[in-house]
Structure 1
Amino acid sequence: MQITKLELHTSCLQQQRKFYHEVLELPIVEENQNSFTVKTGTTALVFSQAPNTSSNPFYHFAFNIPHNQFAAAKAWLASRTMVINTNGKEDYHFEAWNAHAFYFLDPQQNIVEFIARHNLSNESNAPFSSESILSVSEIGLPVRSVSTTCEYLKQNLSINTWQSYEDVFAAMGDENGLFILNYIERPWIPIAATPGIFPTTISLVGDFTEFTLEDAMYKIVPTAK
């Protein structure tokens, strides 16, 4: 599954712009007074001003990085902003996923993840930089029913459950692109943040009809490859 564009809301547009463009050094490919778009590998990441600035929307999403550059990516990121440290732990080894990850917060307090997936053949020998970020590979979607949403996604996108943990969490898609379905009352790791349902638009490569989830808060849109 390939996420070509991810559109999120923010209540601090200018701080987000500075962080993604000046701190993470991602190129801006489009902007106006209400939004900006940065290029993150093969994914366009869009932040739009939230209509209600007091709503404080926040999200969890992940970037794929070359599977052999976990340490280099962490050193690069740590020189620009703080890696989340929870009780002395910064690195996460997801054995069942064959992946390593670390997390950081942006000015909106989005929980952002760099993940090295060792099943993918995406190694790089170039020094790690913003150009090494390969794509947005995960978007967290807090939902009221994980099982119901899984079935709906299977019917509308013909995708399968990649990993599932009873009825509180499921990853749908594949390692290039995953919906992280999280029960609305289950806190996000690694900071135990209580999830919320906020406007999210996800554009995917595929031949399907646009549809929505969770009272139209989540919109899934088809795009050409």
Structure 2
Amino acid sequence: MRVRQLGILMYAFTRPRLTDLEAGGDISVSPLMSFVLAMALHPHVVARAHEELDHVLGGSRLPTFEDRSALPYIDAVYREVLRWRPVLPLSVGRCALDHDVYNGYLIPKGAAILTNIWAMAHDETKYPQPSVFRPERFLTTDGQLEASGRIFAFGFGRRICAGRAMADATIWLTIASMLAVFNITKAKDQAGKEIPIPEYDYTDGLISHPKPFQYSIHPRSLASERLINEII
């Protein structure tokens, strides 16, 4: 499927709400492309997501926000995307309003402070094998969503992302909707061999994006095609 078609579908899935542009498009686009990258690299995750979605939706409709509590694995995929490849690896800079001391370190007034989101999200004591994409780390032993699982992507304190509720809803529903109707796999060359995908090839800067990569995305079934056509 061409990139333009995928973009139309992403818009179609989220059009009842505010557009990404109104909340900073990069903040939503980056995790969605990291999601596609993760799915192409981990077919077993796609298979388990399909199983949960089919159980809840019956393959006859797209997910809605009312389905979220019944889709813990999809929520775990969403959380793992934001942990695995944080959108803002160093968050947004802050400024110390006064002198302070933290763990014996002096933070002078006016000092620029950066929150190392990447280090938090890849803390081995909290997330064993942090470089591995494993949604199950956000689930309890009985398959329910872990209540204490934190999402660092939206920041902290008084300067937490003002658009976090919209971003959360947009990204989650797009992930759930795409998995409901699409297979996402590695692309193949003319000889039928899978084209390797560089897992760590990301841009530098405030917002981190995966660099362009090749993948294959196609409807799961004729029923999926009908659902896609209904929203385009």
Same fold per superposition (TM over 0.5): no
TM-score between the two structures when normalised by the length of structure 2:
0.26
Which structure has greater helix proportion? Answer: 2
Counting strand residues as a fraction of each chain, which structure ranks higher?
Answer: 1
If you compute each CA radius of gyration, which structure gives the higher value, 1 or 2? 2
Normalising to structure 1: TM-score of the pair?
0.27
